[in-house]
Amino acid sequence: MVGEGETNKSGGAAGAGARARATGRDRPRVVTEESLAELALGPLLDDLLVRIREALAADTVVILLAEPGEQELYAAAVLDFEEEISERVRVPIGKGFAGKVASTGRPVVIEDLDRADAVNQLLRKRGLKSLLGVPLHLDGDVVGVLHVGSLVTRTFAPEDIEVLEGIGERIALAIGRARAHQAERRAHERLAFLAEASHLLSRSLDFEETLTGVGRLAVPRVADWYTVTLLEGDRLVPVAVSHADPDEVRAGWELVRRYPPEPDAPHGIAQVVRTGEPLLTAVITDEILASASRDDEHLALLRSLGARSRMLVPLAVGERMLGCLELVSATSRRTFTEDDLRLAEELGRRLASALENALLHRAEHEARARAELLQAVTAHLASARTQREVADVLVQEGVAAVGASAGWVALLSRDLRELDLVAAVGYPAEVIERYRSIPLEGAIGAQEILEHGRSTWLESAEEVIARYPRHADAYASMGYEALAVVPLEVDGAPVGFVALNFPEPTTFGESERGLLLAVASQCSQALERARLYEALAERANAAVVLAHVDDGVFQVDPGGVVSYWNPAAEHLTGISAAAAVGRPIGELLGGWEEASSAIEVTARPGVASAGDAVPLVVSGEERWLSVSGVRNPEGTVYAFRDLTSERGLERTRREFLATASHELRTPLGAVYGAALTLLHRDLDDEQRQGMLDMVVRECERLTRIVEDLLLASNLEHVDLALGAADAVALAEEVVSLRGPTVPEGVSLTLAANGRPILVACDPERLRQVLLNLVDNAIKYSPDGGVVRLEVAADGGHVRFAVEDEGIGIPAGEQRRIFEKFYRLDPHLSRGVGGSGLGLYISRELVQRMDGRINVESEPGRGSRFVVELPLARG
């Protein structure tokens, strides 16, 4: 036994001596009875220590405790041995002095520490020589160790052991009561926590608010970390991470983003979601971390969180599994117990039902928002008539509906080889320009769309790049983080797609997908409508164009029956569309069969050469039509022009050249012959005179022809000197001019009553007209006869009539003889020469003097040309 005074360094209190002197049996009661009144463990122990030191005259007193379920002791209270506390000594049960006391469950005495091995170095450092330790038993378990030490070697007497054991029993009892109290308080706290949680959960129907509110409540009160993971389809999606320190929250998110829970994992969250059973890991060892980690980096991240204890509880409503709630202790060094797990389960149940409500609420809200959006889309689509307008609605509404930052709509080109960009929002102009039309092969989304009609949902830039490595650079440079591509279908066949780009990595949940698919499907129908509309508009346009085109256009089906006949065709042929459509083309255009070999028909418009006109009989009349055709699936479209008049002109020109050269050659030949005769022959005077007369006559004829030619080509520029002249005097002049030269057998007479009749005219030109008519009458009376010129006033007019008894003119030719260069064929005109210009010039001049000219004739009986001109006034 060690003398009291020697080792009692701190015993100075007045009552200490009295207690020290109490008998051995009383001692335990004395030191513990008051202390037991203290229910809180901390203050109780401190007070107790002083009393123990006094009772056992010891130098140090140490109480070590073990937390329930733990395999080590920690210093809970010391007297004169502060090192134990400050160095945070933890003694494994079974090791060292205290560990031995705990593991054997019996008192242990070490009389000479110097000779004992396997004791804590701290004990030696403190200078202790002898130790006595007793276990603290509670309900048959060792919950701690109480030991006293002496700085001098000392033999502890059996009473000392008994006394310390007695004190130990009471301490254990006190611990038991304190723990019960603590448990009660904790139970109370748990109830209070649950009540608060319930209150909070009942307050909000907002999903986010529910999740984060519980997090705020639980951290740090029941745990250091709080996470919620939801089951979406067959994926586990982390939706909440809470920690008191925002930096830690970031670190937590980083961890779950990089290593999201794997749905098939055999342990952890996946296991809880699969089995519906909670999971308590009271102490997280490094081995557990190592086995849960996927790679070294993952392990490092897990370690950095400092997790110590963990609870996972299912979030389920009835049979429906929503996900998993995770509570982790770290810096608080809390070790979760079964009681904590029950609390967590209860919290999980309440959170699950609140989340279920919030989800229903959100679903209902989303359904409403979706209905509203679809309504808005429908309203916008109602006014979209073209495919472009539909596509515009689709990108605008689609981008807004799902929070995308850019979007585009591409439609398959007609030949199905390309994608045409028809609408885009959110892209720079040069990007739009670059992708206006892209080859189908390798285009983003195209393969899925065309081969499978499938949508593509890529939730991060990495996924996009992995799927479309070819577009990696372009995609990366645009800075988008997610992509959705949804097909547009008409009658179940893909016609294009809408692609949306997102500024953030995006989770495409059922509702986002559903919404986008619904918008796309509405737009698909609108697209079909727009296609029909555009086709109709195109046809209507085409019809308008064809109605206003100058060329005749008609379509013939493969059976040769007319299926279209445009207004120009009606006009040019005189056959109405109603009469033409449905009839074989051969019946409408006579000679079609023979002509068609000369008509060029091509497969594409714009390549036919300007072919020659072909003769076709239209409404009984021969016409020269220039026709070309382009084949299409419904037949052949022909366009034609009527070149009959051009062709007539061409023929006239050719005929004129023949006539003119012939007419010029005849007088020239005569003059040349006469000149040669005069030169080489000895002629008498009379013969010479005859020759010269002929030269003069033929020269006059030549001059007339040349004058006629000049006049005819320049008639419109001839100025008329309009005035008044005496018609009778003019007629007399003509007769006296021509009278002397009429051939034999022809007599020229004038019929006028002698009184002057004033006619409004250019007298020069009128004389020319009358001379021409008289000349013709003489010329075309090769067998002789009377040529009669008659002048008379008739109403407001002066009428000149030139009548002959010559060869006459067939009825069908009477109109045409007034055309430029027109002459009856030599057979009908008995080879009489002429230029074919006289009557043309005459008609033009008469018309310009406000008169008219016509002819009556009977072949073989003679002709009567009548010129009517206005009477001159005054």
Residues that bind ligand ADP (CB under 6 A): 776-777, 780, 804, 806-809, 817, 823-824, 829, 834-840, 863
DSSP 541-561: HHHHHHHH-SSEEEEE-TTSB
The least distance separating ligand ADP from the CB of residue 841, rounded to whole angstroms, comes to: 8
The least distance separating ligand ADP from the CB of residue 622, rounded to whole angstroms, comes to: 23
Minimum CB distance to ligand ADP smaller for 210 or for 659: 659
Minimum CB distance to ligand ADP smaller for 439 or for 826: 826
Minimum CB distance to ligand ADP smaller for 669 or for 810: 810
Of 847, 848, 870, nearest in space to 725 by CA? 870
The least distance separating ligand ADP from the CB of residue 821, rounded to whole angstroms, comes to: 8
Minimum CB distance to ligand ADP smaller for 12 or for 860: 860
Question: Distance between CA atoms of 522 and 539, rounded to whole angstroms?
Answer: 26
b or e along 765-781 (b: 16 or more beta carbons within 10 Å of the residue's beta carbon)? bbbbbbbbbbbbbbbbb
The residue behind tokens 């608060």 is 196
DSSP 155: P
Minimum CB distance to ligand ADP smaller for 580 or for 774: 774
The least distance separating ligand ADP from the CB of residue 754, rounded to whole angstroms, comes to: 26
> From start to end of 544-664, where are the E strands?
552-556, 562-565, 589-590, 600-602, 614-618, 621-632, 635-642
Are residues 462 and 483 in contact, defined by beta-carbon separation less than 8 angstroms? Answer: no
DSSP 709-751: HHHHHTGGGPPP--EEEEHHHHHHHHHHHHGGGPPTTEEEEEE
Minimum CB distance to ligand ADP smaller for 434 or for 662: 662
The least distance separating ligand ADP from the CB of residue 782, rounded to whole angstroms, comes to: 10
Minimum CB distance to ligand ADP smaller for 336 or for 656: 656
Question: Distance between CA atoms of 642 and 625, rounded to whole angstroms?
Answer: 5
Minimum CB distance to ligand ADP smaller for 497 or for 780: 780
The least distance separating ligand ADP from the CB of residue 663, rounded to whole angstroms, comes to: 8
First-to-final CA distance of the chain: 180
The least distance separating ligand ADP from the CB of residue 851, rounded to whole angstroms, comes to: 17
The least distance separating ligand ADP from the CB of residue 868, rounded to whole angstroms, comes to: 18
The least distance separating ligand ADP from the CB of residue 869, rounded to whole angstroms, comes to: 19
Which residues are registered as beta bridge partners of 801? 790, 866
Are residues 159 and 107 in contact, defined by beta-carbon separation less than 8 angstroms? Answer: no
Minimum CB distance to ligand ADP smaller for 59 or for 708: 708
The least distance separating ligand ADP from the CB of residue 819, rounded to whole angstroms, comes to: 9
The least distance separating ligand ADP from the CB of residue 614, rounded to whole angstroms, comes to: 31
User: CA separation (Å) from 151 to 16, 47, 97, 126, 386?
Assistant: 20, 22, 16, 8, 102
Phi, psi of 511 (to 5 degrees): -70, -40
Question: Distance between CA atoms of 48 and 34, rounded to whole angstroms?
Answer: 9
Minimum CB distance to ligand ADP smaller for 85 or for 702: 702
The residue behind tokens 């065309």 is 450
Minimum CB distance to ligand ADP smaller for 277 or for 783: 783
Minimal CB distance to ligand ADP: which residue?
A: 834
Phi, psi of 61 (to 5 degrees): -135, 135
Question: Distance between CA atoms of 474 and 543, rounded to whole angstroms?
Answer: 46
Are residues 471 and 461 in contact, defined by beta-carbon separation less than 8 angstroms? Answer: no
Question: Distance between CA atoms of 445 and 487, rounded to whole angstroms?
Answer: 9
Question: Distance between CA atoms of 786 and 862, rounded to whole angstroms?
Answer: 10
Question: Distance between CA atoms of 412 and 692, rounded to whole angstroms?
Answer: 92
Question: Which amino acid is located at 517 in the chain?
Answer: L
Burial of 92 (0-12, 13-18, 19+ CB in 10 A): middle
Minimum CB distance to ligand ADP smaller for 155 or for 703: 703
The least distance separating ligand ADP from the CB of residue 626, rounded to whole angstroms, comes to: 31
CA triple 671-675-681, angle to 5 deg? 140
Question: Distance between CA atoms of 326 and 815, rounded to whole angstroms?
Answer: 113
Minimum CB distance to ligand ADP smaller for 726 or for 805: 805
Question: Which amino acid is located at 846 in the chain?
Answer: V
The least distance separating ligand ADP from the CB of residue 769, rounded to whole angstroms, comes to: 11
The least distance separating ligand ADP from the CB of residue 710, rounded to whole angstroms, comes to: 15
Neighbours of 156 (CB within 10 A): 22
Are residues 387 and 527 in contact, defined by beta-carbon separation less than 8 angstroms? Answer: yes
Minimum CB distance to ligand ADP smaller for 135 or for 834: 834
The least distance separating ligand ADP from the CB of residue 671, rounded to whole angstroms, comes to: 19
Are residues 835 and 663 in contact, defined by beta-carbon separation less than 8 angstroms? Answer: yes
Are residues 238 and 270 in contact, defined by beta-carbon separation less than 8 angstroms? Answer: no
The residue behind tokens 């790679």 is 295
Of 725, 780, 716, 717, nearest in space to 757 by CA? 725
Minimum CB distance to ligand ADP smaller for 81 or for 865: 865
Minimum CB distance to ligand ADP smaller for 398 or for 806: 806
The least distance separating ligand ADP from the CB of residue 771, rounded to whole angstroms, comes to: 11
Neighbours of 840 (CB within 10 A): 20
Question: Distance between CA atoms of 325 and 344, rounded to whole angstroms?
Answer: 8
The helix (H) or strand (E) run that includes residue 50 is helix 41-56
Minimum CB distance to ligand ADP smaller for 271 or for 814: 814
The least distance separating ligand ADP from the CB of residue 667, rounded to whole angstroms, comes to: 13
